[in-house]
Amino acid sequence: MAMRLIIYTGKGGVGKTSSAAATAYRLSDLGYRTVLMSTDSAHSLGDSLEMKLGPEIVNVKENLDVLEIDIIHEMRTKWSEIQNYVSAFMLSQGMGEISAEEMAIMPGMEMIAALFYVNQFNEEGTYDVIVMDTAPTGETLRLLSFPDVTNWYINRAFLVIKRILSIARATVGKVMDMPLPSKEVMDSVEEIKDNMDRVKIILEDPEVTTVRLVLNPEKMVITETMRAYTYLCLFNKNVEALVVNRILPEEAGEGGFFSEKLKEQEENMELIHNAFDPMIIKQCPMMRTELRGEAKLRYMAQQIYGDEDPAIVYAKSSPMKFVTEDGVHKLKMKMPFVNSKEVELFRLDPSTLMVHVGSQKRNLQLPDVLSGAEISGAEFKDEELVISFKRS
Ligand SMILES: Nc1ncnc2c1ncn2[C@@H]1O[C@H](COP(=O)(O)OP(=O)(O)O)[C@@H](O)[C@H]1O
Ligand SMILES: [Mg+2]
């Protein structure tokens, strides 16, 4: 079996960590070699599992490992070449040396680390399933869009560095007060790029990586979840299921105190169905006590999945596809809950199209046949953005 990656995401506090931990328990009980990995810097897997976790992988039980990524630890133990170069560069600019700790707060470092682990686990074949517990939506969207963005920058940075290197070779003496990157540094940068290319393939394979959106039956949460779904489609992620968590049971209304709330909840459940049907919608009731520890996590898994195997892929389609219709090349992107005024397209360079929707943008690498091809039109059809290219 190929590896599976199941990502839980959603607004803060809705139950992502609990759902991820519950799923991981169930999977390991079923015999899948499972790793539960948190990319949220405000880690709470330790609380959820009621155990002490560290920056290294911890074995929790048979078939279940847990990893809370600690970026400072990662920085101290990995990529020393890059760090050395950045430090030397900063020093040459009179900025003083940079420590692993300072480097760790540079934007994106956590994400590179998380994505590297996904690659590593995939290549080593250590696990059957990775369950990813993530930070609230905005941060996670950054994580998932990261391979596109970094590769665009790295490609350009590479051109610049190569040019500097060729000038330096042709000139005797020092060209500028900047240490030139060593072969090791260039190799590390190349390695980051390769890693990002490979992880992108994993993340965009709809049968390998799937996203499950966790939400509560509350108006504001639903609105944010709809938005998250739109953006996940933009980043070509297979969102296959919803987990509606903290549903008040009927009997909560009987005493009167929650009766209004229950009515509201009913309306909100309808709202969820109207927006998301026919997507798979799982449910989990609000429990009487905090949801912590093995027994409750197993109970939660039973509520969400019943007797199903959570490693199933519920729906297998990619939101984005390139097609040729009547000799015209088209890019079709599923884009739910969007109106055409919210979408902007920019050509960054012949082979990169930037698609801007609401607060998110994506640098889309066009296939070779479309490199340089002019866009002849873009239209919305059944919640799908269809971009047509001129024949070359
Ligand atoms: N169905 C539920 N019933 C009762 N408490 C819950 C439920 N789901 C989550 N919780 C509790 O709510 C808090 C937030 O849940 P958590 O899974 O950490 O959310 P997130 O990771 O989305 O921030 C935790 O204290 C957790 O125990
Ligand atoms: Mg959490």
**CATH 3.40.50.300 domain locations along the chain:** 4-72+113-139+203-305
Atom of ligand 1 nearest to the CA of 10: 22
pLDDT number for residue 301: 98
**Residue 392 three-state SS:** coil
Question: How many CB atoms lie under 10 A from the CB of residue 254?
Answer: 11
Question: What CATH homologous superfamily does 4-72+113-139+203-305 map to?
Answer: P-loop containing nucleotide triphosphate hydrolases (3.40.50.300)
**pLDDT reported for residue 124:** 96
Q: What is the mean pLDDT of residues 372-377?
A: 92
Show the tokens assigned to 25: 């328990």
- Assess contact for 229 and 237: CB atoms under 8 A: no
Dist CA 241 CA 282 (whole Å) = 7
Q: Residue 96: is its pLDDT beyond 70? A: no
- Going by CA atoms, what residue is nearest to atom 25 of ligand 1? 290
Query: The tokens 């040396």 sit on which residue?
Result: 97
**Pick from 95, 94, 28, 105: which is nearest to 59 by CA?**
28
Return the ligand 1 atom nearest residue 18 CA.
17
Show the ligand 1 pocket: residues with CB < 6 angstroms.
12-18, 44, 245-246, 284, 286-287, 290-292
At residue 163, the 3 state secondary structure works out as helix
If you average pLDDT over every residue of the chain, what do you get? 88
Write the pLDDT tens digit of every residue in 207-220: 999 999 999 999 99
Q: Would you place residue 275 in the very low, low, confident or very high pLDDT band (cuts 50, 70, 90)?
A: very high
Q: Which of 36, 265, 291 for a ligand 1 pocket mutation test, highest count of atoms within 8 Å of Cβ?
A: 291
Tokens of 201: 């393939």
Give me the pLDDT at residue 170, please.
60
What does the pLDDT look like over 131-176, one tens digit per residue?
999 988 888 888 888 777 777 777 776 666 667 666 665 655 554 5
Q: pTM of the entire structure? A: 0.91
Q: Where are the beta strands (DSSP E) in the chain?
A: 4-9, 34-38, 58-61, 64-68, 129-133, 209-215, 238-247, 280-285, 320-325, 328-334, 343-349, 352-357, 360-365, 375-381, 384-389
Q: What phi and psi values does residue 35 have, to the nearest 5 degrees?
A: -125, 130
Domain span(s) for CATH 2.60.40.790 in the chain: 320-389
pLDDT of 298 > 70? The answer is: yes
Atom of ligand 1 minimally distant from the CA of 133: 21
* Res 214: pLDDT: 98
Q: Tell me how crowded residue 320 is: count the other CB atoms within 10 A of its CB.
A: 21
Contact residues for 327 (Cβ-Cβ < 8 A; gap 6+): 391
pLDDT at 95: 62
pLDDT value at residue 141:
86
**Beta-ladder partners of 329:** 324
What is the pLDDT, as a whole number, of residue 40?
Answer: 87
Q: Which of 9, 14, 18 to mutate to test the pocket of ligand 1 (most atoms within 8 A of CB)?
A: 18
Question: Which of 168-172, 289-293, 299-303, 360-364 shows the lowest mean pLDDT across its residues?
Answer: 168-172
Split at pLDDT 50, 70, 90, the class of 45 is very high
Is the pLDDT score of 201 beyond 80?
Answer: yes
pLDDT of residue 79 exceeding 80, the answer is: no
CATH 2.60.40.790 fits 320-389, yes or no: yes
Query: CA triplet 161, 348, 234: central angle to 5 degrees?
Result: 115
CA distance 117 to 52: 21
pLDDT-derived band of residue 391, with 50, 70 and 90 as boundaries? Answer: confident
Residues 243/214, Cβ–Cβ less than 8 Å: yes
Instruction: Choose the weakest-confidence range: 21-25, 128-132, 176-180, 368-372.
Output: 176-180
How confident is the model over 107-140, as pLDDT tens digits? 667 777 888 899 999 999 999 999 999 988 888 8
Please answer whether residues 23 and 131 qualify as being in contact, where contact means their C-beta atoms are separated by less than 8 angstroms.
yes
Three-state DSSP class for residue 301: helix
Nearest ligand (C-alpha, residue 290): 1
Nearest to 245 by CA among 276, 277, 222: 222
Average pLDDT rounded to a whole number, residues 364-387: 91
The atom number, within ligand 1, closest to the CA of 247 reads 1
- If we measure between CA atoms, which residue out of 368, 360, 364 comes closest to residue 387? 364
Q: What percent of the chain has pLDDT over 90?
A: 59
- Per residue in 299-352, pLDDT tens? 999 999 999 999 999 999 999 999 999 999 999 999 999 998 999 999 988 989
* Cα separation, 387 vs 384, whole angstroms: 10
Give the pLDDT of residue 72: 82
